Amino acid sequence: MRLSQCHNFQDFRKLAKKRLPSPIFNYIDGAADDEVTYRNNTRAFERCDLIPSVLAGTQEIDLSVTVMGQKLAMPFYCSPTALQRLFHHQGEMAVAAAAEKYGTMFGVSSLGTASIEHIAENFDCPQMYQFYFHKDRGLNKAMLERAKEAGVPIMALTVDSITGGNRERDLRTGFSIPLRLTLGGMLSFAIHPMWGINYVTHEKFRLPQLEEHIGMKGGATTTVSDYFTNMLDPTMNWKDVEELVKIWDGEFCLKGIMSAEDARRAVDIGCTGVIVSNHGGRQLDGSSSTFDQLKEVVDEVGDEIDVLFDSGVQRGTHVLKALSIGAKAVGGGRSYLFPLAAAGQPGVERALGLMREELERDMRLMGCQNIGELGRKNLRFR
Ligand SMILES: Cc1cc2nc3c(=O)[nH]c(=O)nc-3n(C[C@H](O)[C@H](O)[C@H](O)COP(=O)(O)O)c2cc1C
């Protein structure tokens, strides 16, 4: 299978599976516990149908949206994800370049393998910086200051990960950073030599947002899971976050909001956005699908702040359904990570290009010219 034969999410997934050692593929593909929420995220879109308007005289389609002060040429963006350099040696550079090409937003993870400064200096795409809340308040402040200095316009605090999700596929393969593989995991690396050759012949794996703080520099001593256990603060609360929002004094959203009540509290502490997300089913298995939660969040706060959405999105029609409910923009994780793993920058560009084509075609078929024309009148729930 080649890149030109990839036409949808499942095709990219298949190609990524072929190219990656299984511990890495399963780190991307896997989710928590029985992966019920992971599956339900995508299935939820199938319980709701689009109703097109015909003879609408639709002319040029305008896919642009404005989210948290940033104009995106299309309403689909790349959600922040960790460790991209492991999936393909081009890592974040490939994703940022593709986001720039399609005029959309790139979420940089605090567990990213490229620095926020490098991305901000070299790529002209709106940048969202995702970070976690540490026990060390000084470190939190320092990270915000660093992002401000780099010129990052949107801060996103992930609130659904105060402890790591139970990813049993990773336990089976021995996936951790640094890698501590089981025998089966090692064998899989041996039968994917190209991945290893690319990994060792390109830029060194780093976590530039965190290396000063977790002992990654010059010989890793801490695993990423130790970082979650020892450095993040599982007791963070609304008061703590209110302080951060004040310090940041700009566009600030909470990533991982699942209820109207929490969305209301986000508004109360001064957030300018929320991302309805369950981390792609990687944290609390058995939690509701994000699509099922979107309506109550939009009804509660959609008139006051921007509601963004992710988890389970694989298709243009999924994006249109979320926008019809009232999301301002829709993110994807695996939908660009599999293309990245499959083919680097050309892979991500192909995935974003296909998404744009799908959105344009589907908007036309819906009889809508601008994203603002989408609404709940377009939807029927079964
Ligand atoms: C491999 C992988 C790594 C991720 N890393 C992060 C991260 O570092 N920070 C974060 O807030 N979310 C992270 N996420 C969650 C994504 O931002 C996003 O919420 C999720 O992927 C959406 O679900 P989807 O993959 O079904 O599109 C990660 C997701 C995946 C698949």
Domain ranges of the chain: 3-371
Of all protein residues, the one whose alpha carbon is nearest to atom 8 of ligand 1 is 82
Closest C-alpha to ligand 1, atom 21: 333
| Torsion angle, alpha carbons of 144, 177, 236, 279, to 10 | 90
Distance 128 CA to ligand 1 centre (A): 13
The closest of 241, 232, 322 to 277, measured between CA atoms, is: 322
pLDDT (0 to 100) of residue 146: 94
Going by the DSSP 8-state scheme, the letter that residue 279 receives in this structure is G
The residue whose CA is least distant from atom 11 of ligand 1 is 158
**Beta partners for 62?**
370
With tokens 């075609």, the residue in question is 361
Alpha carbon nearest to ligand 1 atom 29, residue = 81
Tell me the catalytic residues.
279
Give the closest residue (by CA) to ligand 1 atom 7: 81
Span from the CA of 79 to the centroid of ligand 1 (angstroms): 7
The number of residues in the chain equals 382
- The counts of H helices and E strands in the chain are 17, 12
Looking at ligand 1, which atom is closest to the CA of residue 277?
A: 19
Amino acid residing at 228: F
**Ligand 1 centroid, distance to 268 Cα (angstroms):** 26
Cβ proximity of 48 and 380 under 8 Å: yes
> Do 9 and 315 touch, CB atoms closer than 8 A?
yes
The ligand 1 atom at the shortest distance from the C-alpha of residue 275 is 19
3-class DSSP state of 129: strand
CA of 225 to the centre of ligand 1 (A): 15
The answer to whether the beta carbons of residues 263 and 13 sit under 8 Å apart is no
Q: Which CATH number fits domain 3-371: 1.10.3080.10, 3.40.190.150, 1.25.10.10, 3.20.20.70?
A: 3.20.20.70
pTM of the model: 0.96
Q: If you measure from the C-alpha of residue 333 to the centroid of ligand 1, how many angstroms do you get, rounded to a whole number?
A: 5
Residues with CB under 6 Å of ligand 1 are 27-28, 41, 79-82, 109, 111, 130, 158, 255, 277, 279-280, 282, 310-313, 332-335, 337
CA 109–ligand 1 middle distance (angstroms)? 9
Whole-number pLDDT of residue 219: 47
Q: How far lies 182's CA from each of 88, 174, 220, in Å?
A: 22, 5, 19
Average confidence (pLDDT) per 10 residues, the chain, 382 residues: 96 97 96 98 98 95 98 98 95 98 97 94 96 91 94 97 92 82 79 84 86 61 74 93 96 98 98 98 98 98 98 98 98 98 98 98 98 97 90
pLDDT of residue 218: 47
CA-based nearest residue to 355, from 45, 44, 104? 104
Q: Which of 279, 290, 319 to mutate to test the pocket of ligand 1 (most atoms within 8 A of CB)?
A: 279
Amino acid letter, 304: E
Residue 32: predicted pLDDT: 97
Closest CA to 107 of 329, 326, 354, 324: 329
pLDDT at 221: 52
Atom of ligand 1 nearest to the CA of 160: 11
Asked if 41 contacts 334 with a C-beta cutoff of 8 angstroms, the reply is no
